[in-house]
Amino acid sequence: MERRSIGIVMNGVTGRMGYRQHLVRSILAIREQGGLPAADGSRIWPEPVLVGRSERKLAELAAKHGLAYTTNLDAALARDDTHIYFDAQVTSEREGAIRKAIAAGKHVYTEKPLTESTESSLDLAALIRAQGLRNGVVQDKLFLPGLRKLKRLIDGGFFGRILSVRGEFGYWVFEGDWQPAQRPSWNYRAADGGGIVVDMFPHWHYVLEQLFAPVRSVTAHIATHVPTRVDEAGAEYKATADDAAYGIFELDGGIVAQINSSWTTRVFRDELVEFQVDGTHGSAVAGLRNCRIQSRATTPKPVWNPDLPVTEPFRDQWQTVPDNEEFDNGFKVQWEHFLRHVVDATPFPWDFMAGVRGVQLAELGLVSAREGRRVEIPELS
């Protein structure tokens, strides 16, 4: 079958997300499966050109996977055989690189958050739209098995009227002194684009908006619980960004979502993120992979009596939602949608404007925390 090469300038592939999720688990995995069928019967064949700052690291990666590389972004963007620019750099470097890609006439797919402010994100969204270029922002959580099952429940009317959503996200991120930290140090420095609000609120935005309803207000309290950490080089630094955020979001239809995000909590849950959804006809608890439900008819009737030991095996009273389909890697599934969007103009709702709304929620979440008040979220146009 004829191959249709789509050149992708991949920037930031030496990083955690860029390498593992985007290059290996998505782009190389698509090649391993023989490419992607296009509408005209050919196979879409992603052809990455790796871009980054370190010649040594890039050469190593390129040799390992038999790919092209360069440390010169402008040169990669100037090539006629590159069609898409992809960005998984640290957030603070993203805007400038995307502007160059747009100027070079490339379609753009990027990690979240789109940029560091609503204003600049909106500007990029307007710019890329005016150029008629395709654009997308990673919204990987939507493609996770647990959230896909949740979506299936919502679409099937399982919940009746949805009342509330409670999310718990987080785990202990080591300070870096006696055990190395498992996240990069820039995540804990505000000046470098760090902070859990900026990192996680864009995710919560698309999860809430696309599964439940538009988000109308935010009330957030943030904290930097661990004030000093140790970086990759073993040097102590001051953590200037929030490492925990306690948020309340009001959605259309009176749905109240409460989401805790923390890098300073220890996990006593089944998964690193879990959402409990309560509705008039049933409830569900969804994680990354699993989803359990309890319907109205099987809801027990506990009676509050602290003098007695627990009377009900509460966890056993839930039922597991079956897979009923094969779930592929979420990043790869979204990449496949984007490649088809570029080649065949198939719909792709996870565009820059969706990304802007995620950045806006993070920005207004920080305003809420700073000013100690509930902040309404204006519609963007």
Instruction: List residues binding ligand NAD (CB under 6 A).
Output: 12, 14-18, 52-53, 88-91, 93, 111-112, 138, 140, 184, 199
Smallest distance, Å, CB 21 to ligand NAD? Answer: 7
- Could you tell me the smallest distance in angstroms from the CB atom of residue 216 to ligand NAD? 25
- Least distance from ligand NAD to the Cβ atom of residue 213, Å: 23
Using CA atoms, how far apart are residues 348 and 290, in angstroms rounded to an integer?
26
* Angle, CA of 257, 370 and 119, to the nearest 5°: 80
Minimum CB separation from ligand NAD for residue 166, in Å?
21
The minimum distance between CB 171 and ligand NAD, in angstroms, equals: 13
CA-CA-CA-CA dihedral for 3, 98, 25, 266, to nearest 10: -170
Please say which residue, 16 or 374, places its beta carbon nearer to ligand NAD. Answer: 16
Residue that the structure tokens 């609120």 belong to: 201
Nearer to ligand NAD, 93 or 123 (CB): 93
Quick one: 89 or 368, whose CB is closer to ligand NAD?
Answer: 89
CB-nearest residue to ligand NAD: 15
Q: Which amino acid is at 361?
A: L
Please say which residue, 38 or 142, places its beta carbon nearer to ligand NAD.
142
Q: Minimum Å distance from CB 240 to ligand NAD?
A: 16
In the bound state with ligand NAD, the residue whose beta carbon lies nearer, of 112 and 340, is 112
64 within 8 A of 370, measured Cβ to Cβ: no
Instruction: Give the pairing type, strands 256-262 and 3-11.
Output: unpaired
- Of 111 and 243, the one with the shorter C-beta distance to ligand NAD is 111
Whole-number Å distance between alpha carbons of 112 and 157: 31
